[in-house]
Structure 1
Amino acid sequence: MLVKTRTILLKTLKYAENSVIARFYTEEFGLESFIINNIRSKKAAINAAHLQPLSLAETDLYQRANANLQRIKELRCQPVLHSLYTDIAKTSAVLFMQEVLNKVIIEKEKNEALFSFLYHHICWADAVPKLPAAYPVYWLVQLSRHLGFFPDIDSWEPDTLFLPAQGIFTHETGHPLYFDTTNAKYLYDLCLAKPETIDSIGISASYRRQLLDALLHYYRLHIDGFGEVKAHKVLAEVLA
């Protein structure tokens, strides 16, 4: 069955001499993998330029029930992304986001809200003149809303700690794992912020690094097999 859907490229793997297996997050079907042949041919309808990290496309695909690998008839990069692949800070953020998404999106399941969130944020990051230094931290916080462990903002009060295992803010001390009061307040502010208001929170480089490490640990607590994110060390330096 030929179907049209919007797609987000999550990953490519070399397959044989001149082919790749491309992993897309699709609006209609969730996670799908496709085999794309003759990727390096000058006459190829789909080439490496179409397969940039987190690239967005309008895709005509052949959907076969219970098939592990699908095939694409046509892929049109729309909208065309520009600065994500020419601005070093944005490129570092994209590679970080891509690595995280490949760890958290593991099931073939349609999720319109998650797709819309990712699509909107990729477009916004490409369009904005300069990516806010705290954007990757903000993005992790907002992504957790779609993964089922968004912090309980109703429990926040001034001078509370944040307990990542429970996902709540509290005045209780003695817990082995917690965000201190400063990081907890920044977390609360990030929960309420919009992309264009991130800079107004005023998170210093030191606290951005702390929050990035703490949030990745938060993800490891709530997602089995999440593991280490290699791209975050480079990201922390670029967005310092």
Structure 2
Amino acid sequence: MVHTTKGIVLRTVKYGDTSIIATLYTELFGIQSYMVKGVRKSTRTSAGKAGYFQPAAILDMEVYHNEQKQLQFIKNFEWGYLYENLLFDVKKNAVSMYVIELLQHTLKQPEANPELFYLIEDTLKQLDKGSDTLSANLPLYFILHLGSELGFRMQGTYHRDTPILDLQEGVFMHEKPLHPYFLDGSQAEITSQLLALHFYNDLERIALNRHMRRELLEAYHSYLALHISDFGEMKSLSILQEVLS
């Protein structure tokens, strides 16, 4: 059957002389791999079509879907959203590549999760339009909300009675845990503020220096690794930290 769905490109590899295999996170089917034939041809009708499948591209697609197969096929595709800045701005592009690699490390199963798709789509669109402050704070916001969509949302808020955030249990608590995976002080307070945000524009109000962002990013990576098996090392993290510094 042919289905209409949106998709966000996560990874593309060349296949044969003219084709590609693209992995996308789709609105209807979750993470899927597609054979896209002929898009690397140098003919007039095919020129430039491979550019649709660069990481972070948002596409509207007609796809053939067979649950018994691991490799699907795309019938038609077009831009679902045309970026104005993300592909050309160094900082925004670094953040987008970080978000895409983060998804590669965290999305393990093909099940659909429309709310997660909308989170990813909205994050990339807001990044494209947002200010430098929003772009710099966006990775922190995205990690926390990604964890929520994957089923391990942090519980509670920062308060004088609960000033410690236990990353292993994912809860604000009164006393430090026996293990080393926790945040306290300003790091716990800022995390509580980020968790409470409902709109991307509110990220403008959170003023962080590069050292605090670096420490929080590393802590949030520990948080993901504690809850996702084989999370692995993020290659884009060092690039992101350098660009945002």
TM-score, with length taken from structure 2: 0.92
1:205 match: 210
Q: How many residues align?
A: 239
1:157 match: 159
1:18 match: 18
Residue 2, structure 1, aligned to residue 13, structure 2? no
What is the CA deviation profile of residues 69-88 of structure 1, one whole-angstrom value per residue up to 9, with x for unaligned ones?
11111110122123110010
* DSSP 3-state at the match of 2:81: coil
What is the CA deviation profile of residues 51-79 of structure 1, one whole-angstrom value per residue up to 9, with x for unaligned ones?
12111111011112311111111110122
The one-letter code matched in structure 2 to 1:189 is Q
2:169 match: 166
* DSSP 3-state at the match of 1:85: coil
What is the CA deviation profile of residues 179-211 of structure 1, one whole-angstrom value per residue up to 9, with x for unaligned ones?
122111111011012311113122221110000
Q: How far apart, CA to CA, are the structure 2 residues paired with 1:22 and 1:197?
A: 34
Contact kept? 1:164, 1:178, Cα under 8 Å: yes
2:78 match: 76
The one-letter code matched in structure 1 to 2:63 is L
- List structure 1 runs of 4+ shifted beyond 6 angstroms: none
1:45 to partner: Cα distance: 7.7
TM-score, with length taken from structure 1: 0.93
The one-letter code matched in structure 1 to 2:3 is V
2:225 match: 220
Q: How far apart, CA to CA, are the structure 1 residues paired with 2:107 and 2:184?
A: 30
2:192 match: 188
Could you tell me which runs of 5 or more consecutive residues in structure 1 were left unpaired when the two chains were aligned: none
Sequence identity, in percent?
29
- Which region of structure 1 is more displaced relative to structure 2, 32-41 or 45-54? 45-54
* DSSP 3-state at the match of 1:86: coil
* DSSP 3-state at the match of 1:49: helix
1:46 to partner: Cα distance: 7.2
Q: How far apart, CA to CA, are the structure 2 residues paired with 1:170 and 1:113?
A: 29
Which structure 2 residues correspond to residues 1-80 of structure 1 after superposition, within 5 A?
A: 1-41=1-41, 42=43, 43-44=45-46, 47-80=49-82
Q: How far apart, CA to CA, are the structure 1 residues paired with 2:177 and 2:114?
A: 40
Residue 106, structure 1, aligned to residue 111, structure 2? no
Specify whether residues 77 and 45 from structure 1 end up closer, same or farther in structure 2 by C-alpha distance, changes over 3 A only: farther
Specify whether residues 90 and 105 from structure 1 end up closer, same or farther in structure 2 by C-alpha distance, changes over 3 A only: same
1:124 to partner: Cα distance: 1.4
Q: How far apart, CA to CA, are the structure 2 residues paired with 1:50 and 1:82?
A: 15
The one-letter code matched in structure 2 to 1:21 is I
Q: How far apart, CA to CA, are the structure 2 residues paired with 1:65 and 1:225?
A: 25
* DSSP 3-state at the match of 2:24: strand
Q: How far apart, CA to CA, are the structure 1 residues paired with 2:64 and 2:46?
A: 18
1:150 to partner: Cα distance: 1.5
1:124 match: 126
Q: How far apart, CA to CA, are the structure 2 residues paired with 1:223 and 1:105?
A: 9
Could you tell me which runs of 5 or more consecutive residues in structure 2 were left unpaired when the two chains were aligned: none
Counterpart among 205, 223, 242 of residue 237 in structure 1: 242
* DSSP 3-state at the match of 1:33: strand
Q: How far apart, CA to CA, are the structure 1 residues paired with 2:141 and 2:3?
A: 34
The one-letter code matched in structure 1 to 2:93 is T
Specify whether residues 46 and 35 from structure 1 end up closer, same or farther in structure 2 by C-alpha distance, changes over 3 A only: farther
